[in-house]
Amino acid sequence: MTVEAVEGLAVRSVTQEEVEFFFENGWVKLPGLINRSAAAELLRRAKRIFGEDGRAGLEPISDKAVLKVKTQGWFRTAVPISEKDEAFRELASSEDLGRNAARLFGRDSSIRLTLNNLTCKLPADTERGKGTDFHQDTTQHMAFEANTMNIWIALDEVTPDMGAMQFYSGSHKLGNLGDLLNPATLESWEPRLAHSCTKTDPISLQPGDATVHTNLMIHGTGPNLTNRPRWSYIGMYLPADTRYTGADSFYTNGLELKPWSVIDHPSFPVIYEGNV
Ligand SMILES: O=C(O)CCC(=O)C(=O)O
Ligand SMILES: [Fe+2]
């Protein structure tokens, strides 16, 4: 980990209106969640890791696991970025970000940071510039009893044609819809989704803008049709009193968590002390 000083990160508070929008729709856009100068510094650091064009040291997708191969086509990732770079660690573990997460979960609980990524969706002429298949965040969630939330922060401008995120607004109310990465399953849900949800247009973001979605929100993107990489930070947060379910998962395997015990582990640090 680098020990360079990081100056000037500011995370604003979510408004009550944004909290209500989130409950109604399952996602919310948070313009200017972090200050532009911090976003610019994070982007500089991201480029140090992945190169100016995002392609430095890029390795071909080789994993045999079907799900992994699929998700690896969505973007390039450095995880956990909080252990690779001090500025990303400050962002990932920001108390203000944690307080926002608690308000969006609907309860002033303590909050833990879990998975945290630097991601870069490359132009679509590469292996990691494809569209993100529409999905719920089921695999990230099944090991945890409580809901999880992803905070997705743009480090650079994201235009609609860059593989900007789209949401099926309201889909969080439909519960767990199964393996949506299986095209037949997603297709079979289409009539219900058309009836109950509104699919958003791709959400444009300025550097420092964010979207937040719950694990049950169906989300995905088109391919990155531009020649610019799409840079973002994605952090996954959950209430600190969440228990481990015992499910086999990439997020928890090897940590020796006990099923139905609180996920109290250095890999899941508490970043915000709530009041309940
Ligand atoms: O960045 C993307 O294209 C998808 C991100 C995603 O699936 C998530 O944050 O849960
Ligand atoms: Fe996702």
Domains of the chain by residue range: 12-55+63-272
Report the nearest atom of ligand 1 relative to the CA of 71: 7
* Paired tokens of 52: 């100016």
C-alpha to C-alpha distance for 88 and 1, rounded to whole angstroms? 11
Band the pLDDT of 70: cuts 50, 70, 90.
confident
- Residue from 68, 115, 117, 150 to probe ligand 1 pocket by mutation (most atoms less than 8 Å from CB): 150
Average of per-residue pLDDT across 28-55: 98
CATH of domain 12-55+63-272: 2.60.120.620
Band the pLDDT of 206: cuts 50, 70, 90.
very high
Band the pLDDT of 259: cuts 50, 70, 90.
very high
* Residue 80: cis peptide before it, omega within 30 degrees of 0: yes
Band the pLDDT of 139: cuts 50, 70, 90.
confident
Partnered with residue 244 across adjacent β-strands are 144
- pLDDT surpassing 60 at residue 5: no
Instruction: Give 176-202 pLDDT, tens digit per residue.
Output: 999 999 999 999 999 999 999 999 999
C-alpha to C-alpha distance for 145 and 247, rounded to whole angstroms? 10
> Distance from the CA of 65 to the center of ligand 2, in angstroms?
18
Q: Is residue 210 helix, strand or coil?
A: strand
> Distance from the CA of 76 to the center of ligand 1, in angstroms?
11
Backbone φ, ψ for residue 221 (5° rounding): -150, 165
Q: Is residue 217 helix, strand or coil?
A: coil
C-alpha to C-alpha distance for 178 and 104, rounded to whole angstroms? 24
- pLDDT surpassing 60 at residue 3: no
Average of per-residue pLDDT across 143-148: 97
List ligand 1's pocket residues with C-beta within 6 A.
Answer: 74-75, 119, 121, 132, 137, 150, 152, 219, 221, 234
Helix (H) or strand (E) holding 21: helix 16-25
Report the nearest atom of ligand 1 relative to the CA of 234: 9
C-alpha to C-alpha distance for 95 and 217, rounded to whole angstroms? 25
Ligand with the closest atom to the CA of 138: 2
Instruction: Quote the percentage of the chain above a pLDDT of 70.
Output: 95
- pLDDT surpassing 70 at residue 78: yes
> Distance from the CA of 214 to the center of ligand 2, in angstroms?
9
Residues 6+ apart with CB under 8 A from 80: 92, 115, 116, 117
Report the nearest atom of ligand 1 relative to the CA of 150: 9
Question: Do residues 263 and 144 make contact, with C-beta atoms less than 8 angstroms apart?
Answer: yes
| Other CB atoms within 10 Å distance of the CB of residue 73 | 18
Band the pLDDT of 43: cuts 50, 70, 90.
very high
